[in-house]
Amino acid sequence: MLRIGLVLPMMPQDGGLPGDIPGLARWAEGVGVTSLWATDHLLWHSPVFECLTAVTLAAAATERCRVGTCVLQLPLRRTAAVARAASTIQHVSGGRFVLGVGAGIHEGEFEAVGVPYEDRGAQLDAGIRELRALWSGTGTDERYGHQRITAPPIWIGGASRRAARRVAALGDGWMPLFVSPEGLAARFADLDAMLRANGRRPEDVERAVVLWTRVTESVQEEREAASWLGRFYGLPEAVVARHLIVGPPERCLERMAEFARAGAKEILVIPAADDPSSTLAALFAALRTARPEARLHA
């Protein structure tokens, strides 16, 4: 069956859920969601939850779901602090945590905290290497003793060729956004070649795709979904509309199956609505009765 993860709502007013991340996480796991993810913004146009805190709450409320960041903007944070927090979540979750990291695309956040936006890619690469050194115990000063600690896998965000090179050199998984099924298949093929060139096996790197989704039988709600996303992300409606999966559940599942056939092992759904529960409930209800091709287990 198609594996579906949920990107959690990160604004306190979303869906009338003022901080009830544990309740949503428990409900989602019960429905059949296979993973739970939190997005990361230090500064945003409206109040948002902090992503590592949200992930910790989701991990504590669940037993089976993988939990992770989708994605933490590593250049905006002190790497040693991230290393410690991530290893703690990995330990208390029983090894269910994935540290998803990315360079970030919102220049204003970098300006506000005094981090050069144009250097974020190089800082991300350096930060990933520092994380691994800290977790392995090879990157610490002797004064601080033996630092080997629990290490989670690192997945990389972004859909560019540079992101693929980063995955091939430094990542355990890839979670692109803003991509078509055809584009995803091409990117994964490029990644396979890069991995082999680096002496790595393609099957050792996990692959997901992040999809904005709104399941609805209402034509009016279909029209409103892109507007909702545009307001939420501060992006032009035309930009988000190109990448939005919207409509009745069977149509959405068929579209998701295209991404699975392109190589995605898991679909990470960002619901384009205040309340994610209606989209998820409709997807899983339809998934139980879908045709075999729409139920594809990638």
Q: Are strands 206-215 and 97-102 parallel, antiparallel or unpaired?
A: unpaired
Residue 244: band (very low, low, confident or very high) from pLDDT cuts 50, 70, 90? very high
Task: State how far the alpha carbon of 34 is from the alpha carbons of 52, 181, 187, in Å.
Answer: 19, 21, 24
Separation of alpha carbons 272 and 266, rounded Å: 18
pLDDT at 15: 46
228 or 40, higher pLDDT = 40
**Which of 31-35, 41-45, 136-140, 230-234 is most confident?**
31-35
pTM of this prediction exceeds 0.85: yes
Separation of alpha carbons 177 and 161, rounded Å: 13
Provide the terminal-to-terminal Cα distance of the chain, rounded to the nearest Å.
8
DSSP code, position 204:
G
Separation of alpha carbons 42 and 115, rounded Å: 12
Query: How many beta carbons lie within 10 A of that of residue 144, not counting itself?
Result: 8
Task: State how far the alpha carbon of 154 is from the alpha carbons of 13, 73, 127, 173, 176, in Å.
Answer: 30, 13, 11, 7, 14
Separation of alpha carbons 48 and 205, rounded Å: 31
Residue 298: band (very low, low, confident or very high) from pLDDT cuts 50, 70, 90? very low
Domain residue limits, the chain = 4-287
* pLDDT value at 1 more than 90: no
pLDDT at 235: 78
Which one-letter amino acid corresponds to residue 248?
Answer: P
| CATH architecture, range 4-287 | Alpha-Beta Barrel (3.20)
Sign of the CA dihedral running 258, 261, 263, 265: positive
